[in-house]
């Protein structure tokens, strides 16, 4: 590695390699997945007076990035099986566009491929045609996921990836990537990430400092060679969990738990990469405490939907606005999931859950 610590040669190499993996012409590296979302919307000239529709059941950055560009977030509910944004809920919201958007113009839909599974892209393609909007993928958790053989990052007009250290494809620190098939979006994003410069010290517009560190790109270049195997191993670990829960008689038909647990639903049209293995469980909070007492880690993604966050109350949504998102927030629990997870470790997790539910 040379002495260019920011946007060095490894950055260009990684951008090209990641774009090739996503089967798109352009990749633009940046400082984080959050910045990748901001770059995507800003490159598309989304801003004040515009609306962007997304999910209330996601990480905060999905909505905060919309606010960051000055646009108005709109929300629709999720599919209770996949936890992804539900196209039917979107259509019901948008068919009364005047009431939904007020004085704003709907410019884009921002679906999240949550937990490593692509949204129903056939349905979203139909929404794009019906409403004439851009589709921007929040693929932060889904590098390597596919829909009908097409990879995340190649489905929409643009996509945003995160390489935060906990992601399937992870950097040494924070890093992100925008992918697109549109040259104009890639070119503008590349300028915006360096304070609006095309030529050094000549600023065409006000951009931001969102450059990708060379060392992060170097790490990602190495890990990119292994991501297909790691994702395959995650799917194998997920299948082991499924089998262990079934053998214990704990697996219930969803979408809501009664006495056992609801296992992750995998849409057969896609390829899940299991960034998280998420179950639904009765008495979820007590189960999380019980597992911790057994020395077993678990996490809740996400305990409070975005429309109920204190800082987003001014969006105008009340309790009960999105019942599927609100119910999921009370029931979901992510179990240990990583390629090196062993079957005895998984058996220990399932045994502990069986003991709690007995």
| In the predicted structure, residue 352 carries a pLDDT above the cut 60 | yes
CB 164 within 8 A of CB 33: yes
pLDDT for position 103: 74
Residues 6+ apart with CB under 8 A from 157: 44, 134, 135, 136, 180, 181, 182, 185
Q: What CATH code is carried by the domain that includes residue 25?
A: 3.40.640.10
| In the predicted structure, residue 8 carries a pLDDT above the cut 80 | no
Residues 6+ apart with CB under 8 A from 358: none
- Residues 341, 202 share a domain: no
- Residues 245, 138 share a domain: no
CB 86 within 8 A of CB 79: yes
| In the predicted structure, residue 101 carries a pLDDT above the cut 60 | no
Quick one: average pLDDT of 229-244? Answer: 98
Give the Cα separation of 31 and 163 in Å (integer). 9
User: What element of type H or E holds 27?
Assistant: strand 26-30
pLDDT for position 200: 87
| In the predicted structure, residue 306 carries a pLDDT above the cut 60 | yes
Q: Select from 202, 224, 246 the last residue of a domain.
A: 224
Residues 6+ apart with CB under 8 A from 263: 241, 242, 245, 251, 254, 279
- Residues 24, 155 share a domain: yes
Q: If pLDDT is split at 50, 70 and 90, which confidence band does 199 have?
A: confident
Provide the mean pLDDT of the chain.
95
CB 221 within 8 A of CB 13: yes
Q: Select from 159, 191, 224 the last residue of a domain.
A: 224
Q: Which of 84, 146, 130 is nearest to 110 (CA)?
A: 84
Tens digits of per-residue pLDDT, 126-147? 999 999 999 999 999 999 999 9
Task: Note the pTM of the prediction, 2 decimals.
Answer: 0.95
Residues 6+ apart with CB under 8 A from 191: 197, 198, 204, 205, 207
CB 336 within 8 A of CB 288: no
19 in the Ramachandran plot: left (φ > 0), alpha (ψ -120 to 50) or beta?
alpha
- Cα Rg for the chain, rounded, in angstroms? 20
Q: How many domains does the chain have?
A: 2
| In the predicted structure, residue 188 carries a pLDDT above the cut 50 | yes
- Residues 148, 68 share a domain: yes
- Domain presence at residue 124: yes
pLDDT for position 125: 98
Lowest mean pLDDT among 90-104, 117-131, 288-302, 304-318: 90-104
- Residues 99, 146 share a domain: yes
- Residues 218, 170 share a domain: yes
Number of H helices, E strands in the chain: 12, 16
| In the predicted structure, residue 315 carries a pLDDT above the cut 50 | yes
Give the Cα separation of 254 and 248 in Å (integer). 17
Quick one: average pLDDT of 28-45? Answer: 98
- Domain presence at residue 4: no
- Residues 232, 204 share a domain: no
- Domain presence at residue 2: no
- Residues 152, 25 share a domain: yes
- Domain presence at residue 42: yes
The span from the first CA to the last CA of the chain, in angstroms, equals: 56
pLDDT for position 102: 62
- Domain presence at residue 3: no
Residues of the domain holding 103: 9-224
pLDDT for position 249: 97
- Residues 84, 215 share a domain: yes
Tens digits of per-residue pLDDT, 77-98? 999 999 999 999 999 988 875 4
- Domain presence at residue 64: yes
- Residues 220, 97 share a domain: yes
Q: Select from 224, 257, 279 the last residue of a domain.
A: 224
Quick one: average pLDDT of 39-60? Answer: 98
DSSP 307: G
- Residues 179, 92 share a domain: yes
- Domain presence at residue 1: no
- Express as a percent the part of the chain with pLDDT over 90: 90
pLDDT for position 104: 85
Q: What CATH code is carried by the domain that includes residue 334?
A: 3.90.1150.10
Give the Cα separation of 267 and 120 in Å (integer). 8
Angle between helices 61-68 and 33-43 (to 10 degrees): 40
- Residues 165, 90 share a domain: yes
Give the Cα separation of 106 and 72 in Å (integer). 9
pLDDT for position 2: 60
Tens digits of per-residue pLDDT, 164-182? 999 999 999 999 999 999 9
Provide DSSP, 156-212: SSEEEEE--TTSSS--SS--EEEEES-HHHHHHHHHHTBTTEEETTEESS---B-PP
Q: If pLDDT is split at 50, 70 and 90, which confidence band does 99 have?
A: very low
- Domain presence at residue 219: yes
Tens digits of per-residue pLDDT, 248-292? 999 998 899 999 999 999 999 999 999 999 999 999 999 999 999
pLDDT for position 186: 98
DSSP 54: E
Q: Which of 108, 167, 166, 174 is nearest to 139 (CA)?
A: 167
């Amino acid at each position: 590695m040379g002495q260019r610590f920011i946007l060095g040669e490894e950055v260009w190499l990684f951008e090209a390699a990641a774009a090739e993996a996503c089967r798109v012409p352009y990749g633009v590296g940046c400082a984080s997945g959050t910045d990748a979302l901001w770059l995507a919307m800003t490159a598309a000239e989304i801003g004040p007076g515009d609306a962007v529709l997304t999910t209330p059941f996601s990480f905060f950055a999905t909505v905060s990035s919309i606010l960051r560009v000055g646009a108005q977030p709109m929300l629709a509910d999720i599919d209770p099986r996949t936890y992804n944004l539900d196209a039917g809920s979107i259509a019901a919201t948008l068919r009364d566009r005047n009431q939904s958007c007020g004085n704003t113009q709907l410019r884009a839909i921002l679906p999240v491929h949550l937990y490593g599974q692509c949204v129903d892209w056939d349905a979203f393609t139909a929404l794009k045609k019906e409403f004439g909007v851009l589709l921007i993928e929040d693929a932060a958790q889904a590098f390597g996921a596919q829909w009908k053989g097409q990879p995340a990052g190649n489905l929409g007009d643009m996509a945003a990836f995160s390489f935060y250290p906990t992601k399937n494809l992870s950097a040494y620190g924070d890093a992100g990537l925008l992918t697109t098939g549109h040259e104009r979006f890639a070119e503008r994003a590349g300028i915006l990430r360096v304070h609006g410069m095309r030529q050094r010290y000549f600023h065409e517009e006000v951009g931001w400092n969102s450059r990708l560190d060379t060392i992060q790109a170097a790490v990602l270049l190495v890990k990119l060679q292994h991501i297909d195997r790691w994702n395959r191993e995650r799917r194998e670990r997920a299948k082991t969990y499924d089998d262990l829960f079934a053998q214990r008689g704990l697996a219930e038909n969803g979408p809501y738990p009664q006495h056992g647990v609801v296992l992750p639903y995998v849409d057969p049209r896609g390829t899940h990469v299991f960034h998280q293995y998420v179950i639904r469980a009765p008495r979820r909070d007590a189960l999380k405490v019980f597992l911790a007492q057994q020395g077993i880690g678990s996490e809740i993604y996400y305990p409070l939907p975005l429309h109920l966050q204190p800082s987003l109350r001014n969006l105008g949504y009340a309790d009960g606005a999105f019942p599927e998102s609100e119910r999921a927030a009370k029931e979901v629990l992510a179990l240990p999931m990583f390629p090196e997870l062993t079957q005895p470790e998984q058996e220990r997790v399932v045994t502990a859950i069986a003991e709690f539910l007995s």
